[in-house]
Chain A
Amino acid sequence: MAVLNRKRTAFKLFSRMVLLLAITSGVGLLAHLIKLDRQQVLASSVFIMIVMATLLFWQFRLAIAFVGISVLMGTKTLDLPTFIKECKLDVILFLVGMMVTVGVLKELGLFTWIIQSVIKTRRMTGPMFVVIVAVLAALMSCIVDEVTSIVFIATLIFQVCDTVKVRPTPFIIIAVMATNIGSTGTMLGNPVGILIGQNAIPPLSFPDFLKWSFPIMLVTLSASIGVLLWWFWRDIRLLSERLETRREMGLGLGPLVQVPYKRGLGILVGMIAFIALHHHLESYLGLAPNTVLIMAPLVIAGLLMIWRHERARHYIEADVEWWTLLFFMMLFAVAGALQHTQVTEKIAGYFQTAFGNRLSILTPVIISISAFGSAFVDNVVFVAAFIPVVNKLGHTPLLWALLQGACLGGNATMIGSTANIVALGMLEKRYRTHVHFFEWFKAGVIVAVFSCLVAWGGIAALSPYMPTRAQRELEAVTNLQDSQKHLEINSHQTETSQSGGPGASVFMDIIFPEKM
C-alpha cells in the first residue's frame, strides 16, 4: 500500500513537472512566434514557470523561483543591479516591519483583548456573530494585513464553534472572504496594496487608499455579508440556536481575563497615525514620496525591539515570514525583468489594440483579468506583472481596478489568496478536515463575481472624481517643489538648490521612473 502510494505520488509529481515544462516551453514558443526577442522570450518563460510553480508545486515555489532568477541572470536577461532594484526592498522592509510589530502586539495581548471583546458580547446571535466576524476580519485586514487578520479571526471562530459544537468551516469561509475584501481597504491590507501604491506612477499614498478604495471596500463588504448570510443561513441558524441554549444555561463562550491591552492599542493607533500622516510628514521633511510610509513600521518595529530586546531575535526569526518574503523578492525581480525587457510594454500595447483606451471597457477588463488570475495564482504574481501594464495605460481608476480584482478574485477558489491557504491550513491542522474544492468554489464564485461587480460600480461611480494621472503628476511635482523649498530653508544647502541637486533627481526618479 505504502509502495503504491509512493508510486502514485511520484507519478503525480512527474506529470506536474511535465505540465510545467510543457506550458513554459509553450509560452516561450508563443513569445518567439510573436517576434519577441531572446531576452523577452526568456523573461516571459521564467515568469510563467514561476506562476505555474505556485499552482502546481506550492511547496517548491521558492526553490523554483531561485532557479528561475538564476536562469535570467545566467542568460543576461537580468543583471545584478536590475535584480537588486527590482526586488523591491522597500515593500519587503515594510512587510518585515509590520510583521515584527504584529508579533509584539500579539504578545502584548491586543488581539486577546479583541477576541475577548467579541466573545463577551451580550445576546450574541448567529447573524450578529457573522457580521462581527466579517467586519472585524475586514478592518483588521485593513489595519494589519490579511494573513495576520485571518489567523486571529480563525482563532476566534474556533473558540466559539468548539464551545457551542458547530461546524467551523462556513464561518472560516465567511471570515476569509471578508478578510480578502477588507484587504482592499488600505495599503496595509495586502502585499499587493503596498506593491501598487509604491509602483504606481506617480506613487499612491495611504490617504489615496482611504479616499478611493476604503469606501468601495465598505460597500463591497456590506453587500458580500448579505450574500454570505444567505448562502450559509442554515449553519448560522444552528449557531443561533446553540448560542441561545448556552445563554440559557448561563455559560459563556470562553474564559475571560483582565488583559492590559492599552499599551498594545496605543502602539497600533500610533503606527496607523504615523502611516496615515506619511504624506504630510514627507512634504514637511522634504522626503521622497512614501518614505515615511515605509519607514513607519520599521521605526515602530525598531523601537519595540529595543524595548523588548530580550525577545527581539524571536520577533525577527519567528514572526517574520521569511519564506514568503523571499518568494516575493524573486517574484518582483522576475516581474521586473518583464518590464526591463519591455515585455510589459508590448502587453500594454496589445491591450490598447484589443480594448482601446476607453476606461469604461478597460476597468471591467482589468478587474476580470486580475480577478480570474488571482483566483488560481498568487495575486502578488499577477499584480507584479500587471502594474507596469496599468501604468502604461495611464488611467488612475485602473490602478484601483487592479487592486480590487486581485484581492476580490482571491475569494473564488480555496487557493486564491494567502489568507485562504493559511485559514484552511489551520482548519485542517485543528480538525483534520478538508474543505472540498467545490464547497468553497460554489460560495466563492458567487461572492467573487458579486463583489467584483460592486467594486466595478464603485470605481465607475468614483472615476469622475479621481485625479487623472496628469493631475497626480502635477500634485507630485508641486509637493516636490514645496519639499525642496522647505529643505533649502532648513538646511541652507545652497549648492544643492543651485544645481537642481541630487535630491531632486532622486525624487524625480521615484515619481516618474519611466521618464528618467
Chain B
Amino acid sequence: MSKGKTAIQFSSLFGPAEIICQTELTDRDSILLELLRLLAYERSIGNVHEVYKMILERESEAPTIVGSGIAMPHARLPTIDQIVVGVATSKKGIVYAKNVDNPIKLIILTVSPKASPAAYLQAMSSVAKICQDPATADVVAELPTAEKVWKFFDQGGIILPSYVRACDIMRPAKVKLQEHDTLEKAITLFVRHGLRDLPVVDKDDNLVGVVTTYELLRVCLPDYVLWMEDLTPILNFEPFAEILRKESKTWLAEIMTNEYATVDADSPAIQVAKEITRQRVDRAYVVRGEKLVGVVSLGTFLDRVLRG
C-alpha cells in the first residue's frame, strides 16, 4: 500500500490534447458534450451520446461539485479498460446546475472502466487536496494554454493514491448529538432526518458513542416485556409512555451504545465495508484519532464504489 515506486501522477492520465482551455461556452451540457467528443477523438471512448446521456443523468441526480468552482463529472463504461480524463477551463464560468450558485471554472471529466470501482475514486482522491483550496479554479482558469494547464497538474505533485481511503468516500456527519443532550433531542432528530442512528460527540468533537433507534426501542421494550406472548399489557404503547414522560430528563448516556463501526480516515475504504459487514450495521463512522470527521452509510458506499 505504499506510494513509493508504483506512484502514478494524475497528469499521466491525460495530456494537453485532452484539455479545452478557456472555453467560451457557458452552459454545462455543451461543454460536457464538447469534452466528450474530444476524448472520443483522442482516446476512443465509444459512443459519445451514450456517455453524454449517462453523465447528464448522474449530474442531474447530484451535481459532482468537489470544490469551489470545480466539478468532477464522470461515467463508468464497460467498453474501456483504463481511466480517461479530460479537462476544461472557463474564465467566465459555467452555469452548472440550478442549485449551484458559484459558476464552475474547472471541469475534470473522468471516464473509468466499469469493472474498476477504485479508478474514479482514486482520481477524485488525488485532486481532493487542490480542490480544498478555494483559489484553485480561478488560478487554473487564468492559464492561457492547454500545456500550462497540464503543467499545473503535472508540477503540483498530484499523485494517484494506491488505494481509496475511507475519507475519500465519506460524507460529513452533519447530524450529531452532544454528550449532554437528552433523549428528547435524539428522538426529534431521528424523526426529522429519518436516520437509524446518530453519533454522539463530546465538546472536542470526539466520538463517544452512538444512539440507535434499535436501542431506543429496546429501552422501551426490554427482554422481560418481550417474554410475554400476550400483548394486552402493552397494546397502547404503555412502555413508551414512561419514556416519553421522562425523555427530557433522560441523558443519552443511558441508551448510548459502544457497539458501532468506526474506521480511521486514512484506512482503506474497503475497511468501511468490512466493518459494516462485521458489525452488521448500516453505517460506519470515520474518525481521525478520536475525532469524528465523517460517516459512510451503506448507501453512500454502494453509490460511490459500485455506481459512483
Interfacial residues, chain A to chain B (CB-CB below 8 A): 106-109, 111-112, 115-116, 152, 155-156, 158-159, 163, 165, 249-252, 254-260, 311, 432
Contact = CB atoms under 8 A, between A and B. Distances in A.
Contacts of A108: 228-230
Contacts of B224: 111-112, 115-116, 152, 155-156, 159, 254
A152 B222 CA distance: 12
A256 B242 contact: yes
Interface stretch (B25-33, B102-110, B130-138, B243-251): B243-251
A109 B220 CA distance: 17
A249 B247 CA distance: 12
Q: Which 8 A-B pairs have the closest CB atoms?
A: A255-B239, A107-B229, A257-B233, A115-B224, A109-B228, A112-B224, A155-B223, A255-B242
A161 to B, nearest CB: 12
Contacts of A255: 219-222, 225, 238-239, 242-243
Nearest to A432: B259
B233 A259 contact: yes
Given A108-B230, A260-B230, A251 B246 contact: yes
B173 interface: no
B242 A250 contact: no
B223 A158 contact: yes
A112 B232 contact: no
Contacts of B228: 107-109, 112, 259
Contact of B222 (A250, A254, A258, A259): A254
Contacts of B234: 257
Contacts of B290: none
Contacts of B253: 165
Contacts of B227: 106-107, 109, 111-112
A258 B230 contact: no
Nearest to A252: B242
B266 interface: no
Residues of B in contact with A, size category: 20 to 34
Given A111-B227, A432-B259, 12 more contacts: A109-B230, A109-B233, A112-B225, A112-B227, A155-B224, A158-B223, A159-B223, A159-B224, A250-B246, A255-B239, A255-B242, A258-B233
Nearest to A258: B233
Nearest to B235: A257
Nearest to A116: B224
B249 A258 contact: no
B80 to A, nearest CB: 35
A255 B233 CA distance: 12
12 contacts: A106-B227, A108-B229, A109-B233, A111-B227, A112-B225, A159-B223, A159-B224, A256-B242, A257-B239, A259-B228, A260-B230, A432-B259
Interface in B196-231: 219-225, 227-230
B254 interface: yes
A260 B254 contact: no
Contacts of A249: 249
Interface string B239-279: 10011001001100110000100000000000000000000
> Which of B221, B229, B246 has its CB near the most chain A CB atoms (within 10 A)?
B229
A252 to B, nearest CB: 7
A249 B233 CA distance: 27
B220 A251 contact: no
A384 to B, nearest CB: 33
> Which of B222, B238, B243, B250 has its CB near the most chain A CB atoms (within 10 A)?
B222
Contacts of A115: 224
A311 B228 CA distance: 13
Contacts of B259: 432
Contacts of B243: 255
A163 B221 CA distance: 13
A447 to B, nearest CB: 27
Contact of A258 (B220, B238, B246): B238
A159 B238 contact: no
B259 to A, nearest CB: 7
B238 to A, nearest CB: 5
Contacts of A256: 242
A84 to B, nearest CB: 37
B281 to A, nearest CB: 14
A258 B242 CA distance: 13
Given A112-B228, A165-B254, A251-B246, A257 B223 contact: no
Contacts of B220: 255
A259 B219 CA distance: 18
B279 to A, nearest CB: 10
A152 B249 CA distance: 29
B262 to A, nearest CB: 15
Nearest to B227: A106
B131 to A, nearest CB: 36
Interface string B37-80: 00000000000000000000000000000000000000000000
> Which of A115, A158, A163, A259 has its CB near the most chain B CB atoms (within 10 A)?
A259
A260 B233 contact: yes
Nearest to B223: A155
